[in-house]
């Protein structure tokens, strides 16, 4: 499993570095310029990291002056400032730029991911316990019936080796997964080249295979099990190929996207606090960005942030090397 940061200060530094690559300093030339967009985005990432709400992260910053100093804040922002910043910074276009920045920071000069996996999951729209839901369903004549009409749905494409999210799509369920394949693969290919991609039977369709293999040059591994069970050959060239020459070893990569979803739900909660559909989408985007920022694969970000105020002169380094060489002699 990928190593994720447990340090709030390290997460803040990585969030600041990501925002500086993707966002301008201020949203408008006539803005009050009390807080930068980089600082506000880092506060939002801290909120998701601490699994709290806007008032909670403001109270946490007020109790931890070291985090305020890390952000370079002159004062702690009001919780309504963070709420308005979330509506602006987590819209579709800024969130896409931030995700692009995390992928560039993660891959460096690499632009190809040999193995990827795709899957989607549903999250809870309330913090009601699963035990309560099961108990109410067992009652013969319950005084309160538990019914879920819609729920937040998140689809992701991840790098199998590093558990890094390359593309994400927010939606509302219940909805079949097969329609999410093209948008997710297209979004991932705008950032990296993919060698092969594994998906479960929910994404099985001949148009998805044709799109991945012929239009995108990506080898798709999807079991041909969609529809009613039958002994007849599947319809379509690639679906029949999945029946006759299915690569079981390559399909095992799909398990890693389940690990990514588990990491999201365990580290950043399995429910969203937003009440409207748009606020739930923004919260899902923040979870994806926080997950990527928490993966410490480019340690240079933190080392640079820690050592920037204390540069080592070149002459001193040379003299220390000469003294070390003379001592060894």
Average pLDDT over residues 117-140: 79
pLDDT in tens, 17-34: 999 999 999 998 888 999
CA–CA separation, 225 vs 3, rounded Å?
Answer: 34
Residue-level pLDDT at 302: 44
Cβ-proximal residues to 87 (8 Å cutoff; 6+ apart), any chain: 282
Average pLDDT over residues 128-153: 70
CA–CA separation, 89 vs 77, rounded Å?
Answer: 16
Q: Is 149 helix (H, G, I), strand (E, B) or coil?
A: coil
Domain limits, the chain: 1-317
pLDDT > 90? residue 311: no
For residue 199, give the nearest of 190, 209, 189 by alpha carbon.
Answer: 209
For residue 137, give the nearest of 128, 148, 145 by alpha carbon.
Answer: 145
DSSP states of 36-99 as a string?
-HHHHHHHHHHHHHHT--HHHHHHHHHH-HHHHHHHT-SSPPPHHHHHHHHHHHTSHHHHHHHH
For residue 272, give the nearest of 67, 89, 20, 51 by alpha carbon.
Answer: 51
Rg (CA), the chain: 23
CA–CA separation, 95 vs 81, rounded Å?
Answer: 18
pLDDT band per the 50, 70, 90 thresholds, residue 296: low
Residue-level pLDDT at 305: 47
- The torsion defined by the Cα of 91, 97, 98 and 99, in degrees rounded to 10, comes to 100
Question: If you average pLDDT over every residue of the chain, what do you get?
Answer: 86
pLDDT > 50? residue 308: no
pLDDT > 90? residue 45: yes
The answer to which of 131-140, 167-176, 212-221, 239-248 has the lowest mean pLDDT is 131-140
The answer to which of 51-55, 82-86, 121-125, 257-261 has the lowest mean pLDDT is 121-125
The answer to which of 112-126, 131-145, 181-195, 221-235 has the lowest mean pLDDT is 131-145
Residues in the chain, overall count: 329
Residue-level pLDDT at 228: 76
Average pLDDT over residues 33-49: 95
CA–CA separation, 24 vs 31, rounded Å?
Answer: 12
Strand partners, 92: none
pLDDT band per the 50, 70, 90 thresholds, residue 125: confident
pLDDT > 90? residue 322: no
CA–CA separation, 35 vs 61, rounded Å?
Answer: 14
pLDDT band per the 50, 70, 90 thresholds, residue 90: very high
Residue-level pLDDT at 146: 56
pLDDT in tens, 61-79: 999 999 999 999 999 999 9
197 vs 323, which has greater pLDDT?
197
149 vs 175, which has greater pLDDT?
175
CA distances from 2 to 5, 168, 178, 255, 301 (A): 10, 18, 28, 14, 17
Angle at 51 between CA 50 and CA 53, to 5 degrees: 105
Note the helical H segments in the chain: 8-22, 37-50, 54-63, 65-71, 79-89, 92-107, 130-138, 181-189, 206-210, 237-244, 248-251, 254-268, 277-294, 300-307, 314-328
CA–CA separation, 158 vs 256, rounded Å?
Answer: 8
Angle at 243 between CA 238 and CA 245, to 5 degrees: 80
- Give the rounded distance of the alpha carbon of 123 from its chain centre: 14
- What proportion of the chain, given as a percentage, has pLDDT over 70? 84
pLDDT > 80? residue 263: yes
Average pLDDT over residues 157-161: 95
CA distances from 13 to 114, 173, 192 (A): 29, 35, 25
């Amino acid at each position: 499993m990928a190593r994720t940061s447990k340090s709030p200060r390290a997460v803040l530094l990585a969030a600041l570095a990501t925002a500086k690559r993707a966002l301008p300093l201020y949203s408008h030339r006539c803005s009050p310029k009390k807080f930068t967009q980089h600082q506000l985005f880092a506060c939002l990432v801290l909120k998701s990291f601490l699994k709290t709400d806007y008032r909670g992260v403001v109270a946490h910053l007020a109790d931890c002056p070291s985090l305020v100093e890390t952000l370079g804040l002159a004062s702690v922002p009001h919780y309504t400032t963070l709420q308005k910043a979330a509506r602006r910074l987590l819209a579709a276009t800024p969130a896409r730029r931030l995700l692009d920045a995390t992928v560039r920071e993660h891959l460096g000069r690499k632009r190809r991911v040999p193995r990827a996996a795709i899957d989607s999951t549903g999250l809870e729209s309330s913090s009601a316990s699963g035990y309560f839901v099961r108990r109410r369903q067992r009652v013969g004549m319950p005084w309160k019936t538990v019914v879920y009409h819609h729920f937040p749905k998140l689809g992701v494409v991840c790098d199998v080796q590093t558990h890094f999210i390359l593309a994400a799509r927010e939606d509302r369920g219940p909805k079949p997964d097969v329609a999410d394949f093209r948008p997710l693969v297209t979004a991932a290919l705008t950032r990296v080249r993919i060698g092969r991609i594994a998906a479960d039977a929910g994404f099985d369709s001949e148009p998805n295979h044709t799109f991945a293999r012929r239009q995108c040059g990506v080898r798709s591994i999807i079991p041909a099990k969609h529809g009613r069970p039958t002994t007849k050959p599947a319809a379509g060239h690639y679906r029949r190929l999945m029946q006759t020459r299915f690569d079981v070893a390559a399909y095992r990569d799909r398990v890693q996207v389940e690990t990514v979803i588990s990491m999201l739900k365990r580290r950043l909660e399995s429910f969203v606090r937003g009440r409207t559909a748009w606020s739930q989408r923004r919260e899902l985007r923040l979870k994806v960005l926080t997950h990527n920022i928490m993966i410490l694969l480019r340690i240079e970000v933190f080392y640079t942030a820690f050592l920037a105020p204390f540069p080592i002169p070149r002459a001193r380094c040379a003299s220390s090397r000469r003294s070390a060489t003379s001592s060894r002699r």
